[in-house]
Chains A and B, each alone.
Chain A
Amino acid sequence: MSLILPLLPLLAVAGGAIVVLLLDAFWRRPSKNHLAFATLAFLAAAAAAAVRLWDAGAEAFDGALRLDRPALLFTLILILAASFTVLLAMRWMAQQNAAFGEFYGLLLLSLSGLLIMVSTRDLLVVFLGLEVFSVSAYALTGLKRNDERSEEAAAKYFLIGSFAAAFMVFGLAMLFGAAGSFDIGILLGSGNAAGLPAFTLVGLGLVITGLAFKIALVPFHMWQPDVYQGAPTPVSGYFVVAPKTAGFLVLLRLVLPIGRGSSGGDAIHYFLYAVAALTMLVGNLGALRQKNLKRMFAYSSIAHAGYVLIAVLALDARGLAFYLASYLFLGIGAFAALAAMSRPDREFGELDDFAGIGFRYPWIGSIFSIVLLAMAGFPPLSGFLAKFYVFSAAVRAGLTPLVFIGVLTSLISVAYYLRVIGTMYMREPEQPVDIDVENPAVLLVLFLCLYGILQLGVFPGNILQVIRQAMAGLF
């Protein structure tokens, strides 16, 4: 039992993946809803197991898997993201002629990879998790088999992803050569980077670069807009949230023990400094130019990654967790609105399609507007508080120039988010679009996101406390 218990969340997800795949093979029905419900049940079981482990924490495989509190917190965030994705996909996939049973299995499999990533301090295991995620992610991207764009996106994602994996493996080899271990604690010693051999530094740089590819930090972001635009909309929502959430925890775990003050630590610090500035600028300026909303949100998710990177630089674990928790509702909420903007065999993603939507579909319009306003950082919504915590920690850490770039680029972001709201409420459509409003699951997701945004923005007390409790275990 003591071996099984720590593995329960992971087992529920990975085992669930296999069960759902088999279920699809042996119990074929045209509607795949039974698979969706099975998936949700497995996700709920995994979440329950994670909550159960909260107080004690757990280890397995000689410490290769460590379910400490940060790991469990991020596990819960990731499970929530996956559950939302399932709800979004239920009707949408059928509507878009992409009702493939393997979707749910792949989703669970990719989630299990991310869960592995967040619950370890061993870089080789991180890599293992990342690859489990990536391989299923390539397949998920290409799931709309009758859509060329989806296929192209999958191919592109696969190529770039393999490239990034190569970076990481090379870096890992160097790290192992230098220290004889993959454990972050052993690799980076007791926070004294002065003693780090050059080998280790180069290895770290390569590993961070590989990670940066996966979480799409500039200049390693090129693939992202194409992939997110091409992937099925619910999957894109999952992609903007889940892999970044997991990747940033890994990045924080890497950067925390290095600290500053030594030449090695400073080199990594300034490297990430430049990357953060570039990411915010390129993400926001890129989004400003987009006419397609899926692409716009792809760029905006790059921009948000830049803000999270500030939290990494400020070594602000709580701010990072709060930002990612808030971004869960924002990212999923945005793509839920996009998923709602569809009817059989047709999706509406161009800016012009949104003209007049606000008054034609008041609930979708108003919740989407609130999501957009929260992304732009208007108080009293969660996006504001997230940025507030990150920026104020950054000022305390002496990163004021970066905060300047941060606020000025958020001003740019206000321009493109407001453009969408303006289109929805202040423009008459040339040709009003008719969308399929009979999608209760998507509406449910929208309302849950609305709830999350308001709860985190106005009364985040309990969640802040959980985050504080969890992230204290990171040191």
Chain B
Amino acid sequence: MNMPLLSVLIFVPLAGAVLLIFLPRDRKDILYGVAGAASLAALGASFLLFTRFNGASADLQFVERVSWLGGGIQYHVGVDGISLMLILLTTLLLPIAIFSSWSSVKDRIKEYLFFMLLLETGILGVFCSINVFLFYVFWEAMLIPMYFLIGIWGGRRRVYATTKFVLVTMFGSLLMLVAIFVLAAQYQKASGTASFNLFDFYGMSLPPQLQLWLFLAFALAFAIKVPMVPLHTWLPDAHVEAPTAGSVILAAILLKMGAYGFLRFALPLFPDAVQKLLPALAALSIIGIIYGGLMALVQKDIKSLVAYSSVSHMGLIMLAIFALNVESVEGAVFQMLNHGLSTGMLFLMVGVLYERAHTRTIADFGGLSKVMPVFAAFFLVAILSSLGLPGLNGFIGEFLCFYGIFAAHSVWAILAVSTVILAAAYLLWMYQRVMHGPLVQDKIVTFPDMNAREIALVVPIVILMVWMGLFPRTFLKKMDATVTHYIQAIKGQEKMFIMKTEGAGNDPRKDSGALGRCFYTQPSTAEAVPQTRFGAPSAAPSAVSAR
């Protein structure tokens, strides 16, 4: 148990990327072999992580903590039940995305795989970071490979799309950076020591007015990433122009980073502000659900249809998060996995189609199911999973979400249910137009069905979809404790704030609130691991030992 599993997980892809630099550029097989091996190694590591993760504990596990730059900036990583799920999703989809590019990416393969692996390291780092500085480093660094992936291997308007993507995302995250500075300065003023540890920040009690501003800065960064309407405009552009694998990663994983950011940072750090803004946030989510669904209904391009469906689905996930009870948050996390799988698979299928037809316009197709029966079957599975058919994964997630949302606000739930109806409408209507009816083009007849490689890529996804639909407890039980604890902490925090008199106490530890108190009880093993492993005690005295 002494292996630094998380570090291995995060940096194996990076090592693969560095190795790629020194390989011959014309040996496609070697390049794919190395990239595939690195991403599969990460998958193996995350599988180990999953089996060893103790679902009965709400604490951070696999914690590693090494001093890095001083001044509270540490290499500090760990996972809980929520990040575990997203890590699993990431490591599963990356190899699939990599191998899906075998025939669609024709030149500059070496650079392509290099950026894919770099991207994986960035994403995994975001989900593992406990130190806010480290989180920000990964959060921003991840933009660079994505910029190149869309910009070099994308479609016709790729440069515009990718620049827009980077600039819009950075706009939010730079304001978040300022908020992080303010948080750190406040912490230092209150406690006298410098820290960027997220759990130290949890314990602070900030004046409500300041909270509001800081929350807005964080929320803006994350809402752009999710994306919540009206900050979604970068998404259709980026999706449509990105290469298939880029779209898969963008939709399946990157969007989750926004939701994860809300869960991990924006909500627990600023409970007062959340309380004030909850109705507005919920309203934006509901608008997103309906707007995304309606926009998806009128799209002519399959890819942008799936892109807008993501806006709608992410709206539901955000609404479930804002409902703030155990069922809804668990549902939201579970639904993140579902959406990752189903949308990822949809984009893969669109990619398969595009490789054959070189078009994605719905009107160019018709009667495909006769020519490509295997393709039609898998496409249908993806669609059914996406719209929440009982027996598949989507149903469980949506059910939990609605259950939780209804318990919080029945009106929200009633409005949100429209997502199901809309999803059924735009997905099935699209399926009908593409797959059934007369053959509109003669060349469709010549399309080969899915080949073995393409089938092999989607089969694991389908197996997981069924598994998650039938045995959701496999995953839910890993996050029960985390989510229950999370909700208790947040609710406790709210009560604290209602009772608290203005300006009571400046010491963040004295008045740490329930959330701080709960989160501070990290297991002693977690503290011991880095010390035995790396020999050196962590630089800043942790809050745990201070108590």
Contacts and interface: CB of A to CB of B under 8 A. Distances in A.
B526 interface: no
How big is chain A's contact interface, by range?
20 to 34
Contact of A379 (B136, B162, B167, B171): B136
A373 B143 CA distance: 11
B166 A414 contact: yes
B69 interface: yes
B546 to A, nearest CB: 22
B171 to A, nearest CB: 6
B69 A460 contact: yes
Contacts of B170: 411, 414
Interface string A17-61: 000000000000000000000000000000000000000000000
Interface in B483-521: none
B52 interface: no
Interface string A381-409: 00011001001100110001001100110
A286 interface: no
A345 B404 CA distance: 72
Contacts of B166: 414, 418
Contacts of B162: 422, 426
B147 interface: yes
A384 B139 CA distance: 13
B530 to A, nearest CB: 18
A464 B70 contact: yes
Contacts of A419: 163
A395 B137 contact: no
A425 B167 contact: no
Contacts of A404: 178
A379 B152 contact: no
Contact of B178 (A403, A415, A464): A403
Contact of B141 (A378, A395, A410): A378
B174 A426 contact: no
Nearest to A468: B70
Point out which of A388, A392, A419, A464 has the most chain B C-beta atoms below 10 A from its C-beta.
A392
B158 interface: yes
A219 interface: no
B173 to A, nearest CB: 9
Interface string B168-191: 001100110110011011001000
Point out which of A379, A384, A407, A410 has the most chain B C-beta atoms below 10 A from its C-beta.
A379
A379 B151 CA distance: 20
Given A396-B185, A425-B148, A407 B177 contact: yes
A427 B151 CA distance: 10
B492 to A, nearest CB: 30
B181 A403 contact: yes
How big is chain B's contact interface, by range?
20 to 34
Contacts of A373: 144
A426 B151 contact: yes
A205 interface: no
Nearest to A385: B69
A189 interface: no
Point out which of B159, B167, B181 has the most chain A C-beta atoms below 10 A from its C-beta.
B181
A392 B184 contact: yes
Chain A residues touching B, majority SS: helix
Contacts of A415: 163, 167
B140 interface: yes
B491 to A, nearest CB: 32
B206 to A, nearest CB: 14
A359 B166 CA distance: 22
A407 B148 contact: no
Contacts of A418: 147, 163, 166-167
A379 B178 contact: no
A238 B83 CA distance: 48
A410 B174 contact: yes
A409 to B, nearest CB: 10
A461 B178 CA distance: 24
A349 interface: no
Nearest to B107: A359
B151 A392 contact: no
Interface string B452-495: 00000000000000000000000000000000000000000000
Interface of A: 359, 373, 378-380, 384-385, 388, 391-392, 395-396, 400, 403-404, 407-408, 410-411, 414-415, 418-419, 421-422, 425-427, 460-461, 464
Given A379-B140, A403-B181, 9 more contacts: A359-B108, A384-B137, A396-B181, A407-B175, A408-B174, A414-B170, A415-B167, A426-B152, A426-B159
18 contacts: A379-B136, A380-B141, A384-B137, A392-B181, A392-B184, A392-B185, A395-B184, A404-B178, A407-B174, A410-B174, A411-B167, A411-B174, A414-B166, A414-B170, A418-B167, A422-B151, A425-B152, A460-B69
